[in-house]
Amino acid sequence: MPDAMVELLRQIETQLSWGNSQDWTGRDFQELSERILQSTGERLSITTLKRVWGRIQSTTSPSDATLDILSRFGGYANWRAFRRTLEPVEAAAVVPDIPQSPKRQYRAWGIGLIVLALLIILGWTQRWGSTPAAEEAVILSDSVTFELEKVTIGIPNTVIFRYDIGDIEYTTLELQQTWDERKRIPLDQSSGLATTTYFYPGYFKAKLVIDGVIVKEQLLYLPSDGWRAIVADPDLDMPLYLDVESTEEAVSLSKPEQDFLLKRKKPYLLSLMKVMEEPQIKSQAFNFTTRFRLVAPAPESTCHFGQLLIRAEHDLYILHFSIPGCVGRLSAYIPEDNVSGVRHDLSGFGYVPNQWYDLEIRKLPQEFQLMINGEQAFTYPCKEDIGRIGGVQFRFEGLLELGPTVLRDADTNLLF
């Protein structure tokens, strides 16, 4: 096992305070899987976790995707960022604190002021006399072309990116598919094309990156072509698409697909989502209403976690749900602020499986409000304008059904 991975697992074990991992039970790995899901929004199966911790014999090393998720759970941006923390740091020289006479103190102050002045002059000269690499890349970006083209309508969808950076010298040239830095594709030539396949609808910001600096950005919008049901399976490279029955009164899986999930023996996340053909709703002030119920929890699900995501051009809202006993583990992401259930009362986000809940979001110019069954469950200051809303996504550990779903602002009223 590589030393870096050993250290990452050691830090996670310390963070959990569960004792020696060799003594962990199946329930411990189940709890860890759910904590990772809650913390990162991505699930690692119990089997994967047991392999990583050496409790199941394996001939292959964990994938970078798995190590990225574990690193984020451990408090780092990604696996690369964690490994950087292990790089040796040159020790700074320690200067003894020797008492000085007043004359020497004045002389030291004088020398210090002279050095400070020289540093300021040097910094000013460097600022205006030469251009740092990042700024140079931004300036040169005017000569860079970066375009995209979707090959079809709906999802999945392959997108063709065409680029040309001209005569710019570089060490690394990459295409970043989304906000996620892990999803970067190395490009071998200074001009050409690259393709990538997207399996989920929504907003994406594709970026052209030269030597770690983003020089061009393109907003990619992928509508869903109606309601879609998608199952994220950690054991597969791509999600499963399931048939949806959608009316003005309800959104649910078809009967065969419901039976398929009810018979499933391993954990899963079910997403019911819809992204409009064109974003229309203004995010600064809007109203969203729906009904939902969890018909049956997924296997190996203790807290029955769920999420509601409202996606807009520049950011999104994320509300987490669970059974009442687990609400201390929840959070709510309101643009530019993460509200933790450790320090806030999120008991209003608790629900009971197989019961219907009426949900209403009122986004006022200065405040975000959540109503559950007609009662105020959560309020939080929010004045961010994050662009036009593209759609909504429900993501739950189990079989989910929705009632009538409406999204409106002062000018538009959409029945989903």
Q: How confident is the model at residue 295 (pLDDT cuts 50, 70, 90)?
A: very high
The whole-number pLDDT of residue 6 equals 87
Residues 6 or more apart whose CB falls under 8 angstroms from that of 131 comprise 139
Check pLDDT > 80 for residue 140: no
81-85, 193-197, 203-207, 312-316: least confident range: 81-85
Q: Right CATH number for 228-415 from 2.40.50.140, 3.40.50.970, 2.60.120.200, 3.40.50.300?
A: 2.60.120.200
The whole-number pLDDT of residue 243 equals 95
The whole-number pLDDT of residue 102 equals 42
User: In percent, how much of the chain has pLDDT > 90?
Assistant: 48
72-86, 137-151, 316-330, 384-398: least confident range: 137-151
Q: Where are the domains of the chain?
A: 3-85, 99-130, 137-222, 228-415
Helix (H, G, I), strand (E, B) or coil at 191: strand
CA 247-249-250 angle, to 5 degrees, is 70
Average pLDDT over residues 104-119: 43
Check pLDDT > 50 for residue 121: no
Check pLDDT > 80 for residue 269: yes
Q: How confident is the model at residue 324 (pLDDT cuts 50, 70, 90)?
A: very high
Residue 354 has what DSSP assignment?
T
Check pLDDT > 90 for residue 346: yes
CA 283-280-363 angle, to 5 degrees, is 25
29 sits in which H/E element: helix 26-40
Measured between alpha carbons, how far is 48 from 133 in angstroms, rounded to an integer? 41
Stronger pLDDT, 257 or 80, i.e. the higher one? 257
The whole-number pLDDT of residue 234 equals 66
Q: How confident is the model at residue 55 (pLDDT cuts 50, 70, 90)?
A: confident
The whole-number pLDDT of residue 98 equals 33
Check pLDDT > 50 for residue 120: no
Stronger pLDDT, 91 or 50, i.e. the higher one? 50
The whole-number pLDDT of residue 127 equals 34
The full DSSP string for 209-223 is EETTEEEEEEEEEE-
Measured between alpha carbons, how far is 317 from 384 in angstroms, rounded to an integer? 11
What φ, ψ does residue 320 adopt, rounded to 5°?
Answer: -105, 145
User: In percent, how much of the chain has pLDDT > 70?
Assistant: 84
Into which CATH architecture does domain 137-222 fall?
Sandwich (2.60)
The owner of tokens 């329930």 is 27
The whole-number pLDDT of residue 141 equals 59
The whole-number pLDDT of residue 56 equals 81
For 191: left if phi > 0, alpha if psi spans -120 to 50, otherwise beta; the answer is beta
Could you tell me if 72 and 40 are in contact, meaning their C-beta atoms sit under 8 angstroms apart?
yes
The whole-number pLDDT of residue 298 equals 92
